[in-house]
Structure 1
């Protein structure tokens, strides 16, 4: 009986309920190969990463609604009516400013709300809105390096193992059409898809590529003294002919006050901060 109780306590210490219930995946500490030889923003290098927990899924509308209900928070798009949305028929890389758009109506009121899309990733939120959520939820954004380590799942290429530009549609909600002049619903979704609808990467993370760009914490040399936010992973808008940012190397840039209908995020928790003691953590470094 004592051995059984010890085993139960050991499991709770290192695999806490919070980590499972909130769908976090633990990324082991170690040295990882990142970047690419031709990228100025993300040069090829080896980095050491401390262990961290990253959410399996992009944050959903349901998750964000809990935050809003608890705090009464109003996003920048609600306050300044400056969200950018898309509709088929626009030329490549063109977006519309819609004064009615915000997270509850991420493509503007005329295009419908999220009543039946609570499991979709929250969008039309700015980087500053995301930081407010993270402060409330006691979590944070992944760094550039953490995001890339989790996305690659042990691979050293543009994609995680088994994925290339041709079959990425099995793993990501992207734009399948040649251009954006006509609506593309070939994968069942014009805009966002429910999180976890497509295949995960080998470490169990969903929607790493496509669905929505994911805000990350960090800055680039080209930012200079400017306040710039960055996001990774591509989105439902990205196609093989336009953008093609659904890979592990590209780092996008946007104003920290901007709200787009293809921008969202996933969260990170440090093992020390979120899940108690790390005594003996090295035992799990190989998982």
Structure 2
């Protein structure tokens, strides 16, 4: 068996080998969706060292002519009662607030933005120029799957992703160990400063992939930068594994019959005062038809 830092001999030379193993995933803590912790077994697989970048996604689009969900025209019949401004192609964009806000209301820092897409991450007048090596964002689930299929890869399961993120550390709280980041360290791109209005210098947005230290398997940004899609449907905890999209619907929003998949890893928006979900066990649901300015992905090869 090759060691974990062996380069993938296949199409993607940016991947490393994760050995087959049985280990613990999940956590029994104050986040009920992360428990109960359990032992899982995974076969060995290759996984990309970095999140897929704007340059890599541009190569895919150039080769295939693919149009992402955020760029496609909307059918008003699918959204009865929606304002006309919301019926234009677009995506959800993060905007810093002017000052402290009630953190219970996400709409204060998230805005539906017509014209926002992977090519225009902050809106129609923005571009990815100068951000070629940043992770691609505004990626809906099918956009990630399309890239994975084209590149001869796949999206990881939640268990595969979490095993890789832990870097060989059993039950560790963070990708780097059990102790939180110290003031003199820079271990991951999560929110440093006052959320959601005053980030510390160098934080508060995506950074080029590989800007922070790798974990024990040589993988970068398994904590922070952008959330990453996995192949699994979302269940309310680790004991619930939906078999299909309908079982993953949000019971609190019955008007939205949209499947939800698990995203992992947290993002540049995870603040300790609000959302400590840049830990390996952390997870959240994401509607498959919705990309945002903090959601990307990486691929695996089995």
Where in structure 1 are there 5+ consecutive unaligned residues?
1-9, 271-287
The equivalent of 2:273 in structure 1 is: 241
For residues 203-237 of structure 1, give each alpha carbon's deviation from its aligned partner in whole angstroms, at most 9, with x where no partner exists: 11000111000111112334625311221111011
Map of 1:115 onto structure 2? 129
* Change beyond 3 A, Cα 1:76–1:220: closer
> 1:174 maps to which residue?
190
Tell me the TM-score normalized by structure 2.
0.78
* 1:60 corresponding residue in structure 2: 53
Larger helix share, 1 or 2: 1
Match of 1:253 in 2: 285
1:89 and 2:82 aligned: no
2:167 equivalent in structure 1: 153
What residue number does 1:273 align with?
A: none
Q: Secondary structure at the match of 1:221?
A: coil
162-171 or 92-101, larger mean C-alpha shift: 162-171
TM-superposed deviation, 1:36: 1.2
1:220-258, Cα deviation, whole Å (9 max, x unpaired): 334625311221111011111121111011111111000
Identify if the C-alpha distance between structure 1 residues 264 and 219 changes in structure 2 by more than 3 Å, giving closer, same or farther.
Answer: same
| Gap change, CA 1:17 and 1:141, over 3 Å in 2 | closer
Query: Aligned partners of 1:221 and 1:20: how far apart in 2?
Result: 33
Secondary structure at the counterpart of residue 217 of structure 1: strand
Offset at residue 181 of structure 1 (A): 2.3
Indicate the RMSD between aligned Cα atoms, in angstroms: 2.4
CA contact (8 A) 1:42 1:250 kept: no
| Superposed displacement of residue 166, structure 1 | 3.2
Displacement, 1:16?
6.6
8 Å Cα contact 1:59-1:265 kept in structure 2: yes
- How many pairs align? 256
Q: Is the 8 A contact 2:172 2:178 kept in 1?
A: no
For residues 145 and 226 of structure 2, the distance between their equivalents in structure 1, rounded to whole angstroms, comes to 17
**Equivalent residues in 2 for 1:2-81, closer than 5 Å:** 18=9, 22-38=13-29, 39-80=32-73, 81=89
Query: What SS does structure 2 have at the residue aligned with 1:170?
Result: coil
1:267 alignment counterpart: 299
Structure 1 residue 165: Cα displacement? 3.0
How do residues 195-234 of structure 1 correspond to structure 2 at under 5 angstroms?
A: 195-222=209-236, 224=247, 226=249, 227-234=259-266
1:70 to partner: Cα distance = 0.5
Cα deviation, 1:149-208, whole Å, max 9, x if unaligned, reads 1111122122134463333962211111222123x252x244110000111111110001
Structure 1 contact 82–258 (Cα < 8 Å) conserved: no
- Paired position in structure 1 for 2:179: 164
Which ranges in structure 2 are unaligned for 5 or more consecutive residues? 74-88, 237-241, 250-258
**1:161/1:195 Cα in 2 relative to 1: closer, same or farther (>3 Å)?**
closer
